[in-house]
Amino acid sequence: MQQRGVTIWFTGLSGAGKTTICKALEQELREQGYKVEVLDGDVVRENLTKGLGFSKEDRDENIRRIGFVAQLLTRNGVIVLVSAISPYRAIREEVRHRINDFVEVYVSTPLEVCEQRDVKGLYKRARAGEIRQFTGIDDPYEPPLNPEVNCQTHEEVLEESLSKVWQKLTEMGYVSKPLVALN
């Protein structure tokens, strides 16, 4: 199957639901025969950007590196799913302009909900002062101004978020088949 490459960039606070939506989308795309690669922020930090810290400069460099890999894959016809907090608007815009075929998905879950979901205990540790420069606590998150998709996981179920993303990909010509997961 001939397909257009695109980077679908999931951004939002830790615990917002980025990875959950990303995994559901990956499964749907693979089942329909699309070539897909996932660049998850936690996995990338462990393998590609291990030496970087959490200063603004290091976070920007982390996003640049993820963007570079995403650009290479996208230009070679792969659908790339990026799930990364990517807290700073300017670096997300820089990556968007470099890649061109780019769909930003803002998982806009409120901080209070993310803290309640805190599976890894990171917010609790950040509030206790054990983790510094934690996005949403003592480091800012700059929401996208005009994301292609806005998922509100505190108000919608996974299938609704997935459907929003699939609808946008269909409108933009990156996928042509109907979403099977909801049928």
Q: Tell me which residues are annotated as active site.
A: 86
Strand partners, 8: 81, 103
> With b meaning 16 or more CB within 10 Å and e meaning fewer, what string describes 80-109?
bbbbbbbbbeebbeebbeebebbbbbbbbb
The CB density around residue 121, as the number of other CB atoms within 10 Å, is 11
The pair phi, psi for residue 83, each rounded to 5°, is -120, 100
